[in-house]
Chains A and B, each alone.
Chain A
Amino acid sequence: GAVVSQHPSWVICKSGTSVKIECRSLDFQATTMFWYRQFPKQSLMLMATSNEGSKATYEQGVEKDKFLINHASLTLSTLTVTSAHPEDSSFYICSARDTGVDNNEQFFGPGTRLTVL
């Protein structure tokens, strides 16, 4: 089946540092990937849509200069949280759509738990 990996699984960093999270589709190509954020006991909130070879599109209220997205290949998207602060602590989940299949299904990665001290 379609597998999406994320790295790292968890990360603890100091306030003011930048953190990069990788999302990979392991056995399929993904022109489009999505980045979500989930706070405790809340739902997944879409942050941005990552498009291979073009700029990401961000949801309203998400700062594009703070959450940098790069989708340089058909199997890899990265999210960089720049100058992280404690309020950025959250569970970040990516998902990917299989380019070769014409449906709406998204396959989710296992998530990255970010803690900013």
Chain B
Amino acid sequence: GQNIDQPTEMTATEGAIVQINCTYQTSGFNGLFWYQQHAGEAPTFLSYNVLDGLEEKGRFSSFLSRSKGYSYLLLKELQMKDSASYLCAVVRGDYKLSFGAGTTVTVRA
């Protein structure tokens, strides 16, 4: 089966840094996506990791360790508009996506 775990909720202050962890156990692995989803809207792409290491893209960075079945998304210089749900999604061996339940991030002034 597929098992993808991420925290349910996180709260941080505007301007701060937040790290969202994701651990996974899936049947095969062909990469890991992070998506942002605002309530009632479709997910939007943030990052993709297939090799171990850190991928940096502006205020967002994503890290992957395949041997540990672990990834994190790092959000820096938090802004109010970053309040959303963040989804970890693993590309399985059959190239389909399995999603975690999502982490709701609330940014406070």
Contacts and interface: CB of A to CB of B under 8 A. Distances in A.
Contacts of A109: 42
B82 to A, nearest CB: 19
Contacts of B102: 42-43
Contact of B43 (A44, A103, A104, A113): A44
Interface string A37-58: 0000011111001000000000
B20 interface: no
A113 B41 CA distance: 10
Interface residues of A, number: 19
B44 A108 contact: yes
A106 interface: yes
Given A104-B91, A108-B42, 4 more contacts: A34-B96, A42-B102, A43-B101, A93-B42
7 contacts: A43-B87, A44-B43, A46-B96, A46-B97, A110-B42, A111-B42, A113-B40
